[in-house]
């Protein structure tokens, strides 16, 4: 059985209580809030041959096959490699599956995650199946960034926003999942995850706090001219590029916020608060805005799986960062 998170109860009730299901759903929301668990739960419900109290029974032939990963009427679409796009050939296989007759005599289910990973050709190939579904087929598309989907795909799905848990609910859940950590550390993880509790657990398991400490220490030494941009970029060789750019986007926003308000009560996590204030006092606002635009552009390239020179990108990023105080 897929895990049921406490913040999903109302959403699950709306989905499970539907008398007639759409041919396509788009479940969307930030990464790390349990969309996949919700989708897995719905897949199990719609394939189950003996539904009980709005839940899959877990014991019928369909449930056992699904649990074993061998259900003939279930089709999963994911990138073949991490950080790679979903290709048009995968969608053609999906279309072939959709046209088949269900082998167990019930529904056919397709689950795609993340839907925004489709390249343009794959997206166009999917449209026909969304326009003219075959038989009793339900497509579940999961998206962390629905703005990256073609409008024609979104318009052909029932869009279901997945709820973001409140801070108190997230922290209570994290206290159960990560009891070995202090409350302040769990709060820091939740901030780093953008409020997504499942992502916070993944960050902890990936050692992101140690990574963050290394990044912050390096940036402080860079501003003090104790490290060169090239040396610092080299030391970050194993760190996820997307994560680094996310942090720099946040820091750019915090610097601008401080410059506009001169309010130091919110400067993000305490580890960078003094740096944010220092750069806010020393850097020219128009230069910070230009730097922010550049960082956002590079982040978009990374999200779009562009073929970038990682070393040159990081060196350029750090050169621009180090030059901010001299541009006031």
286 pLDDT higher than 60:
yes
pLDDT of residue 327: 56
Helices 183-192 and 167-177: crossing angle in degrees, nearest 10, is: 120
| Residues 149, 60 share a domain | yes
| Residues 25, 127 share a domain | yes
Provide mean pLDDT across the span 188-206: 93
Q: Are 49 and 60 in contact (CB under 8 A)?
A: yes
Query: Domain boundary residue among 99, 132, 161?
Result: 161
pLDDT of residue 290: 94
In a domain, 134, yes or no: yes
70 pLDDT higher than 80:
yes
Q: Are 12 and 43 in contact (CB under 8 A)?
A: no
| Residues 20, 150 share a domain | yes
β-partners of residue 188 are none
Provide mean pLDDT across the span 69-98: 92
Provide mean pLDDT across the span 254-270: 88
pLDDT band at 146 (very low <50, low <70, confident <90, very high): very high
pLDDT band at 133 (very low <50, low <70, confident <90, very high): low
Of 120, 117, 129, 119, nearest to 92 (Cα)?
129
| Residues 217, 76 share a domain | no
Nearest 10 degrees: Cα torsion 227, 230, 231, 234? 140
In a domain, 189, yes or no: no
Q: Which of 7-11, 304-308, 321-325 has the lowest mean pLDDT?
A: 304-308
Report d(CA 324, CA 326) in Å as an integer: 5
Strand ranges in 32-77 using DSSP code E only, listed in sequence order:
74-77
Q: Are 272 and 216 in contact (CB under 8 A)?
A: yes
pLDDT of residue 326: 76
pLDDT of residue 2: 66
In a domain, 125, yes or no: yes
317 pLDDT higher than 60:
yes
Provide mean pLDDT across the span 112-137: 87
Query: Domain boundary residue among 102, 129, 161?
Result: 161
Question: And the tokens for 312?
Answer: 């040159």
pLDDT of residue 150: 94
Q: Are 59 and 50 in contact (CB under 8 A)?
A: yes
Report d(CA 48, CA 65) in Å as an integer: 10
Q: Are 22 and 110 in contact (CB under 8 A)?
A: no
Backbone angles phi, psi at 28, to 5 degrees: -130, 155
Higher pLDDT, 131 or 89: 89
pLDDT digits (tens, 9 = 90+) for 213-237: 999 999 999 999 999 999 999 999 8
Higher pLDDT, 83 or 34: 34
The domain in which residue 253 lies consists of 207-327
β-partners of residue 160 are 27
pLDDT of residue 106: 87
Q: How many domains, the chain? A: 2
Provide mean pLDDT across the span 87-98: 93
| Residues 157, 16 share a domain | yes
pLDDT of residue 136: 85
Query: Domain boundary residue among 134, 161, 188?
Result: 161
pLDDT of residue 217: 96
Whole-number Cα distances in Å, 150 to 23, 72, 77, 101, 230:
18, 29, 18, 29, 39
Q: What is the CATH number of the domain that holds 119?
A: 3.40.50.300
Instruction: Look up the pTM and report it.
Output: 0.81
| Residues 154, 18 share a domain | yes
| Residues 123, 15 share a domain | yes
Sheet holding 24-28, edge to edge: 74-77, 108-112, 137-143, 24-28, 158-161
| Residues 155, 15 share a domain | yes
Secondary structure tally for the chain: helices H, strands E: 15, 5
What are the helix (H) ranges across 178-237?
A: 183-192, 197-205, 208-223, 229-235
pLDDT of residue 301: 86
In a domain, 190, yes or no: no
In a domain, 195, yes or no: no
CA angle, 113 then 117 then 121, to 5°: 120
* Residues 6 or more apart whose Cβ sits within 8 Å of residue 308: 241, 298, 301, 302
* Residues 6 or more apart whose Cβ sits within 8 Å of residue 93: 75
pLDDT of residue 167: 94
pLDDT band at 37 (very low <50, low <70, confident <90, very high): very high
258 pLDDT higher than 80:
yes
Q: How far is CA 287 from the centre of its chain?
A: 30
Provide mean pLDDT across the span 34-47: 95
Q: What is the CATH number of the domain that holds 282?
A: 1.20.272
pLDDT of residue 303: 78
Higher pLDDT, 185 or 84: 185
β-partners of residue 139 are 24, 110
Give me the chain's average pLDDT, please: 91
């Amino acid at each position: 059985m897929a895990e049921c998170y406490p913040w999903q109860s109302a959403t699950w009730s709306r989905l499970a209580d539907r008398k007639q299901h759409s041919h396509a759903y788009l479940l969307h929301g930030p990464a790390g809030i349990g969309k996949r668990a919700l989708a897995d739960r719905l897949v199990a419900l719609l394939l189950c041959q003996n539904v009980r109290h709005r839940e899959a029974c877990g014991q019928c032939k369909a449930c056992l096959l699904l649990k074993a990963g061998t259900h003939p009427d279930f089709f999963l679409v994911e990138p073949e490699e991490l950080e790679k796009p979903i290709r048009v050939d995968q969608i053609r296989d999906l279309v072939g599956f959709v046209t088949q007759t269900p082998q167990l005599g019930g529904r056919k289910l397709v689950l795609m995650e993340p839907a925004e990973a489709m390249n343009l050709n794959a997206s166009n190939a999917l449209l026909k199946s969304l326009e003219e579904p075959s038989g009793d087929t339900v497509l579940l598309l999961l998206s962390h960034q629905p703005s990256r989907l073609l409008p024609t795909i979104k318009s052909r799905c029932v869009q279901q926003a997945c709820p973001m848990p409140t801070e108190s609910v997230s922290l209570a859940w994290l206290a159960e999942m990560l009891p070995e950590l202090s409350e302040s550390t769990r709060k820091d993880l939740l901030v780093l995850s953008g409020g997504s509790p499942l992502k916070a657990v993944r960050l902890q398991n990936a050692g992101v706090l140690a990574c963050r400490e290394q990044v912050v220490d390096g940036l402080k030494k860079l501003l003090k001219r104790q490290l060169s941009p090239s040396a610092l970029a080299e030391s970050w060789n194993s760190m996820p590029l997307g994560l680094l750019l996310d942090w720099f986007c946040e820091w750019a926003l915090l610097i601008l916020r401080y410059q506009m308000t001169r309010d130091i009560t919110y400067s993000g996590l305490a580890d960078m608060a003094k740096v944010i204030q220092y750069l806010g006092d020393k850097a020219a606002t128009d230069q910070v805005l230009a730097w922010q635009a550049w960082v956002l552009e590079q982040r978009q390239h990374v999200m779009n799986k562009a073929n970038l020179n990682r070393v040159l990108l990081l060196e350029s990023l750090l050169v621009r960062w180090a030059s901010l105080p001299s541009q006031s």
